[in-house]
Structure 1
Amino acid sequence: MKSLFKQLMFAFFAFTLAGAASAQDAKRGTAEEAVAMVKKAGAYLNENGPEKAAAAFNDPKGEFVKGDLYVFMITFDGVALAHGQNAKMVGKNLIDLKAGEVYPIREFVKIAKSPAGKGWFGYKWPNSITKAMEEKNTYIERNGEVLIGVGTYK
């Protein structure tokens, strides 16, 4: 009887962990979703202007935050106009923000100012859901005098 109880408890524990893992994976955004969200954010910015767009991008319960995906909008000088996951960044100059050995905002600006005006950049960043430091790839697009980005965790 003890053996059967132990097996049932182990199965329940394993099922619980599998459920938590699949729920966690369900919150992970894909590269395709990141690109689509940047394009949607760009269209919203163009249609509604920077003030209304910043308010929408900053809304943690709004349409521009989904699981671990969130929109940010930054000037070419590095000032965060919107950040869907961390309101404390809004209004701050992040150009010297360092992630490991790289300066992601500087790289985002380079991508936005490049002839293509869009691209990907990889670095390590704390995951807003798991709180763990993880590999992240961020998609950037220039939109007028700002850049819009959304990143995915590996």
Structure 2
Amino acid sequence: MVEKWLRSVAVAVCVAAPALAMAQERGTAEEAVALVKKGAAFYKANGKEKLAAEINSRSPMFQEKDLYLFMSPAAGGALIAHGANAKMVGKTLGDMRDVDGVNFVQKFRDVANSKEGKGWVDYKWPNAKTGQLEQKSTYIERVDDVYLAAGIYKGK
């Protein structure tokens, strides 16, 4: 009887362990905000070009768990830096939409150019770590003429 119970517990642990590991690797909303604020402080101390170089080099300073920082002009235009996909840098993404038709890049600019200059945008995006399409919520904050952003994946 005890042996059967131990086997059941062992199976449960084996099944649950990957899910728990994945949950621990996901960034939180608080961590996303902190990453953006860290980027803003670096920007103010070192300038836009140095921040872009750090982000584009995938510096661990601007990546945590599944979070990464990206930077774009608040007025629109080519993406300046992206911590997960260097191929996006230099591309104008203004009309980019998710699978549900949400023009999330325009929403990023709307938030950046709002009175508060910061906030959250929800959309669907492939998880940079898993490649799976997931719900994502991205925190945006304007700094001078750009916005910095980092998003959390919420699952499917």
TM-score scaled by length of structure 1: 0.89
What is the distance in 2 between the residues matched to 1:73 and 1:64? Answer: 11
- For residue 63 of structure 1, give the secondary structure of its aligned residue in structure 2: helix
Verify the 8 A CA contact 1:111 1:140 in the aligned structure 2: yes
Alignment partner of 1:132 is 2:124 = no
What is the distance in 1 between the residues matched to 2:46 and 2:138? Answer: 24
- For residue 47 of structure 2, give the secondary structure of its aligned residue in structure 1: helix
Alignment partner of 1:99 is 2:98 = yes
Alignment partner of 1:85 is 2:89 = no
Show the counterpart of 2:17: 19
Q: CA offsets, 1:44-76, max 9 Å, x none?
A: 011111111011112324210111111000012
- For residue 42 of structure 1, give the secondary structure of its aligned residue in structure 2: helix
What is the distance in 1 between the residues matched to 2:130 and 2:7? Answer: 26
What is the distance in 2 between the residues matched to 1:129 and 1:41? Answer: 21
Show the counterpart of 2:122: 122
The alignment-based identity, stated in percent, is 46
- For residue 21 of structure 2, give the secondary structure of its aligned residue in structure 1: helix
Show the counterpart of 2:150: 150
Show the counterpart of 1:71: 69
Displacement of 1:11 in angstroms is 4.8
Q: Which moved more, 1:85-94 or 1:15-24?
A: 15-24
Displacement of 1:13 in angstroms is 4.4
Q: CA distance change for structure 1 residues 78 and 16 in 2, over 3 Å: closer, same or farther?
A: farther
What is the distance in 2 between the residues matched to 1:74 and 1:106? Answer: 11
Show the counterpart of 1:109: 109
Q: Alpha carbon RMSD of aligned pairs, Å?
A: 1.9
Q: 2:78 corresponds to which letter in structure 1? A: V
TM-score scaled by length of structure 2: 0.88
What is the distance in 2 between the residues matched to 1:87 and 1:9? Answer: 47
- For residue 152 of structure 1, give the secondary structure of its aligned residue in structure 2: strand
Gapped runs of 5+ residues in structure 2? none
What is the distance in 2 between the residues matched to 1:58 and 1:6? Answer: 52
What is the distance in 2 between the residues matched to 1:59 and 1:21? Answer: 30
Displacement of 1:5 in angstroms is 9.1
